[in-house]
Structure 1
């Protein structure tokens, strides 16, 4: 027995030693790719030495003898800190993820090949202006200098992920950067999903008024009325459609296709000197994108020949997308522009390789493409295009459910342009010296469309940038639903002139702002969009701006971080008006008492979606349950796709606008249910959901326990053990409709995870530019072993910032390292 015990002990000891040695070896190999910031490196591709000084937050301050040399330094710095992220972005837009991840990512690759964005990016290189082309080439050379250094010095393949997914890394090219810009446009665009959703709801609801309820136009002057989808299609004799088999989106964290309700958003606002306490202009910006680890944003300062530029960049792009120079500050918000149309293309029944056009049958343009797959045979895909654009599979976004038999769906989208000068717009903006030059730079923007907020020393301005499709006034669906591709009136007539885009310069009020809200009442086809991104945050922003005669940097920060929900404050009195203080006190421990306690808490609540409070959770579960109960009986399975509450719909129902209270009646029952009954039943169901998960002590609930910013690694975030190293989870305040926006996931076992919000915040003060501040939601480094992987995340969570200074001495004084790139092989 003692002999057996000794051998078991030896075996266990050996296994422990092997495990320790394995862990040590893994750490050693992973640590090899940690960048060294304090060094001198000889590189080719620069005309004179380049200094990259990293301050104590790991923000690179890049100095060079020429602007191309500075862009070279940015490319090198991006590749030092975010090489894996850059590789993943490039492979995603190329449709080449399956070479690394096998069949898991094949659905993504197939869709990306059909979009063919990378080929359009390659064609767009020659469309850039000379200054942008020089920047792109220099930036690419900087990235490649880092790749050469990794290969020469065996620096752990450049990123720890490369040990797990070892594949060759091709040199960086200017087309790669343009393609990543197009990928960003894809991640921010919700037009395709919106068109399909409206068509499906229109087919499911015989009453067009009910379609207008559940998919309401933004409040304000009405734009137009539409026929329903059945009318559009029945005119051609189409009545049969496929049933949905899910949403058709690749279920993978690497998918760039946004889930409905989680497209791009943002806040930006500016104050003119007369509305600033210091007499200088102010500008604040916080773009909203999906959270990831590391953040998509990367802070950097570029010392160009005309002066410094500092702000938020995206690895892969030689741009400061939101930031300031010594002359001008700029910020971006999603405009919501309807820049995509879906077309139903009729197949020739005798020759299915042809489709119908205004001039008769025409063959598809086709091209074969081969997708290589790790550990599997390659797949050959035949790509097809019509005059309108690429043909997409019927399963994508449930297109088949609105596609008549004998038809396929194709799209026209501004980002498909092969003469895309959007990168030139971004570069020219960095060189603009005043708001008028900034507006002029925006003329080159194609996609994505954005609202550009500008401030120089004396002026503020707003301009919608991006190509606006010129639709025919006789367009069948006005771009809101799929239409027949062969009808001339449904096709675009180029783009409207840039001068027609909404623009405001130096308003009398002295304040400008946009929260993705409606900016024009122009009638179709000049209306920009029917589906504005915000109807709620704008009310809270307006109140905060009007509450002060003059503003300061700190009051702008206060507005950026505001977590009071106008939505909660406006809806709760509506849905609970006949429930409060109704009935006798119920015994403790009963559902009725729990309901009374919840209503009492909500009655005393001011709508602050604070992470430490229970009321936001009670409210969020109640309102979500309520919407589902209102629509489930009419829409059936389609209701699953309404993952986020539409406050305008709830308000229409409970105010009975145009008879919308009919949604409260459950159509399958003989009785006619009232809205008060549905509100109470929904609250009881919400409290039962809360009790089953968190217990019945409502006072002990904390919104932050469920509303955590899920900044997960898209590749390793679901791997046991590793996920605790690479994922960044933080309790956060805010919600779907607060200025400090933390959009919830809306589905799955954790529907209130915070998955989409302000990964970057910046406030720029032109009275004292070096008092400007900025922050990102994780850290600068993409290396999980780096102390800069998540060091800014806690500051971000607490609503703190770091200095946004162009003071070179300050950067050097707190430096964590200085990299000197010198010319030579």
Structure 2
């Protein structure tokens, strides 16, 4: 047991003084109790002290990861890891003007600012302790990488949120990549055919797509794509390989389902969230309890982020998945041939605003670069030959800190109305979910959705000459996708479409009639009521699926009914018909079912034979963890007149669809026979990847030694963690699996924390550990207590 009495704090004061954030007017008493899984619960009577305990506790477990996270979001990686990281720093620094973020912090009320100041003060306290006892407390990675721990300011704390949750999950667009595809289509097919193909492959809305808001339960506006498509202005993109975006630019891996009391056999209300940030060691997520100063919650959150994204306060519970609202646009600027730092707007040349950024580079002198900003955001892509550039416009610019504070305050809400009021202040796009002890469930997708000019085609960059500027204001919050106590009694999401209509559109995202959320919805609707165990087991049932099986396999099996009994393809059909869609890795590293290889090879053959001969412009990659664009376009082609997207172009070129599918199966047999050196389908067992926890962080920057990579069995299509929150009889229980473990600490001598990877086996076995909310429950499992005074 470690107890820092006030006198101990006084003895440390000289060492701490240079590192603490701006002092508060009074001392804050902080108590931290850790449970048997190493999860800290912080107790304090004021916000500054509570968040000081928060920052201190995370630093105890993740000091090196926090140091690298800070460099990652500030664009200072090259200062500690060398010049090879300078391009990353340049991109990162361009995205957010630090002066703008600082101004937002300065404008905060004192109570809200205390959150950031307290977190920094607690973190810095731990840094001072570590530097005072390096031989025992300095994490080994600092020595291995030749790095020293630095102190934090309130700005650093805020930038962790800005650079991760806002920058990673609300700072993307597919418009440039879409435009590049459009330009290629016109080059290959001519203007008229290009428009036809583009509209068929990059639809704004498929009315058959499943939505998180139940059908008929949301305000709708019919979406109409502009009739004319001008691809000529994007011709210069064809020769570039640095065009950002594409379907994979949008985060889409998290899932969630909530069942109200009428859908469970025991009358409980269950929220199960699987947020997917990527799989890392140490874990991206950190479990915590905060108690006092108006907060009383338990849950988990991305480490170093000063708000708890997933959790409960006993009255309500909350969760999140990546947002689906189109809150960003690229704008195409026409540059002045005589002065490329000017662009044309409203018939006149307008100066870009330069912002000088200076970078310290390890082992070298400082490097400076100029970032150019326009009225349409940061200028991110320039083509001098065509005298064009592209600027990235964010509807939420200047509202990053407002959004952070709203998320923090939402965790104090006691009912849906309170919680929804905080959602209205969220400017970035995100999906929020709600449940409470009275059996109510809800969903909202907040964000500052811009009022676009009717001349703009949402799928491609707008023209930045004043003719397609966003209109004043934004979509009212009343129109944002939301539902409360839907009649069906449940809510589900797997990064699918939020709602139909203009509000739910996103740059021609491939949301179609087939969606992986169908796997969740099918299991929820299979029975009138589900047991709590069945609700939990959905996670395991969907984690190993080839998501394309539900979308495409029925077409092939139907076509195969025309085959004679002695057809040589019948053994392949038999394997596919018996397959449950699961991709399970055997001990030899290969799939347990030959159908895995057969189906994937057939899909790839179909995409090549049916789609790619038309030079559609998109990559032919068919992912297995979601129904990607090639699979959606292929499925629509197979549906024909039954598709939600009008099929004006015949990808089958007049051929019989059944014959094409069966011919592709023949090609599959030939290819697999050659690949595996056997004509026996039983031998066609494809290699499957392991589930690996990498040591680069969520932004691709090292956060641990290369020898710290961990792996378990079959790669899973599931959340980075699993959060199960259950309300029953007015009481709440929490069960979490957040691998590899709570702590990433490795001592200077190489000894790992006992909680370094103790949740890895839980995760692999689809189990979870309890996490207390009430003090009396925590005291039963308490293993470590720390207290200190901070000011």
TM range (shorter): 0.7 to 0.9
Partner of 1:134: 114
Q: Is the 8 Å Cα contact of residues 269 and 453 (structure 1) preserved in structure 2?
A: no
1:733 to partner: Cα distance: 6.2
Answer yes or no: is 1:540 the counterpart of 2:519. Answer: yes
Q: Is the 8 Å Cα contact of residues 734 and 771 (structure 2) preserved in structure 1?
A: yes
Q: Paired residue for 1:817, among 781, 784, 791?
A: 784
SS, match of residue 504 in structure 1 = strand
1:643 to partner: Cα distance: 5.8
Q: Is the 8 Å Cα contact of residues 177 and 243 (structure 2) preserved in structure 1?
A: no
Partner of 1:325: 313
Q: How does 1:368-447 map to 2 (within 5 A)?
A: 368-394=356-382, 405-417=386-398, 420-447=401-428
1:697 to partner: Cα distance: 6.7
Distance 2:42 2:566 in 1: 68
Distance 1:674 1:419 in 2: 51
- The CA deviation string for residues 115-147 of structure 1, in whole angstroms up to 9 with x for no partner, is 125443322213444433222211111111111
Q: Paired residue for 1:507, among 486, 502, 527?
A: 486
Q: Paired residue for 1:71, among 27, 51, 68?
A: 51
Pair 1:216–1:815, CA change in 2 (3 A): same
Partner of 2:556: 575
Distance 1:67 1:98 in 2: 35
Distance 1:354 1:390 in 2: 13
SS, match of residue 288 in structure 1 = coil
Distance 1:611 1:101 in 2: 37
Distance 1:225 1:124 in 2: 37
- The CA deviation string for residues 24-43 of structure 1, in whole angstroms up to 9 with x for no partner, is xxxxxxxxxxxx97877636
1:695 to partner: Cα distance: 7.7
Partner of 1:626: 606
Q: Is the 8 Å Cα contact of residues 132 and 427 (structure 1) preserved in structure 2?
A: no
Partner of 2:744: 782
Distance 1:695 1:162 in 2: 52
Pair 1:488–1:173, CA change in 2 (3 A): farther
SS, match of residue 709 in structure 1 = strand
Partner of 1:243: 238
Pair 1:226–1:555, CA change in 2 (3 A): same
Q: Pairwise CA RMSD of aligned residues?
A: 3.6
Q: Is the deviation greater in 489-498 or in 313-322? A: 489-498
1:817 to partner: Cα distance: 2.6
- The CA deviation string for residues 795-814 of structure 1, in whole angstroms up to 9 with x for no partner, is 11211111132243443443
SS, match of residue 287 in structure 2 = strand
Q: Is the deviation greater in 631-640 or in 373-382? A: 631-640
Q: Paired residue for 2:575, among 601, 605, 613?
A: 601
Q: How does 1:7-22 map to 2 (within 5 A)?
A: none
Q: Is the 8 Å Cα contact of residues 471 and 493 (structure 1) preserved in structure 2?
A: no
Q: How does 1:689-728 map to 2 (within 5 A)?
A: 692=675, 699=682, 706-714=688-696, 723=706, 725-728=707-710
Partner of 1:357: 345
1:96 to partner: Cα distance: 1.1
Pair 1:389–1:284, CA change in 2 (3 A): same
Partner of 2:279: 291
Distance 1:767 1:529 in 2: 44
Distance 2:365 2:679 in 1: 54
Distance 2:358 2:471 in 1: 32
SS, match of residue 428 in structure 1 = helix
1:425 to partner: Cα distance: 1.0
Distance 1:38 1:553 in 2: 40
SS, match of residue 318 in structure 1 = coil
Answer yes or no: is 1:491 the counterpart of 2:473. Answer: no
Q: Is the 8 Å Cα contact of residues 709 and 732 (structure 1) preserved in structure 2?
A: yes
Q: Paired residue for 2:433, among 448, 452, 455?
A: 452
Answer yes or no: is 1:656 the counterpart of 2:640. Answer: yes
Q: Is the 8 Å Cα contact of residues 272 and 722 (structure 2) preserved in structure 1?
A: no
Distance 2:439 2:276 in 1: 28
Distance 1:701 1:782 in 2: 40
Distance 1:691 1:132 in 2: 65
Distance 1:610 1:760 in 2: 20
Partner of 2:100: 120
Q: How does 1:19-58 map to 2 (within 5 A)?
A: 42=9, 47-58=27-38
Pair 1:603–1:264, CA change in 2 (3 A): closer
SS, match of residue 414 in structure 2 = coil
Q: Is the 8 Å Cα contact of residues 277 and 550 (structure 1) preserved in structure 2?
A: yes
Distance 1:213 1:52 in 2: 57
1:543 to partner: Cα distance: 2.4
Distance 2:135 2:452 in 1: 53
Pair 1:145–1:549, CA change in 2 (3 A): same
Q: Is the 8 Å Cα contact of residues 516 and 532 (structure 1) preserved in structure 2?
A: no
1:786 to partner: Cα distance: 2.6
Q: Is the deviation greater in 165-174 or in 425-434? A: 165-174
1:635 to partner: Cα distance: 3.3
Unpaired segments ≥5 residues, structure 1: 1-35, 250-256, 395-399, 587-592, 666-670, 735-740, 743-756
Q: Is the deviation greater in 67-76 or in 165-174? A: 165-174
Distance 2:557 2:54 in 1: 55
Q: Is the deviation greater in 340-349 or in 630-639? A: 630-639
Pair 1:85–1:418, CA change in 2 (3 A): same
Partner of 2:217: none
Distance 1:701 1:516 in 2: 33
Distance 2:683 2:34 in 1: 44
1:678 to partner: Cα distance: 6.2
1:788 to partner: Cα distance: 1.9
Q: Paired residue for 2:772, among 805, 808, 811?
A: 805
Partner of 1:226: 225
Partner of 1:269: 257
Distance 2:286 2:93 in 1: 28
Answer yes or no: is 1:531 the counterpart of 2:518. Answer: no
Q: Is the 8 Å Cα contact of residues 203 and 510 (structure 2) preserved in structure 1?
A: no
SS, match of residue 312 in structure 2 = strand
1:482 to partner: Cα distance: 0.8
Distance 2:781 2:526 in 1: 38
Unpaired segments ≥5 residues, structure 2: 14-22, 209-220, 587-591, 747-751
Partner of 1:471: 452
Q: Paired residue for 1:171, among 151, 160, 166?
A: 151
Q: Is the 8 Å Cα contact of residues 329 and 461 (structure 2) preserved in structure 1?
A: yes
1:82 to partner: Cα distance: 1.4
Answer yes or no: is 1:794 the counterpart of 2:761. Answer: yes
Distance 1:651 1:37 in 2: 61
1:598 to partner: Cα distance: 3.3
1:484 to partner: Cα distance: 1.0
Paired positions, count: 732
Pair 1:468–1:528, CA change in 2 (3 A): farther
Q: Is the deviation greater in 426-435 or in 802-811? A: 802-811
Answer yes or no: is 1:554 the counterpart of 2:533. Answer: yes
Distance 2:155 2:511 in 1: 31
Distance 1:693 1:102 in 2: 45
Q: Is the deviation greater in 528-537 or in 111-120? A: 528-537
Distance 1:683 1:61 in 2: 60
SS, match of residue 289 in structure 1 = coil
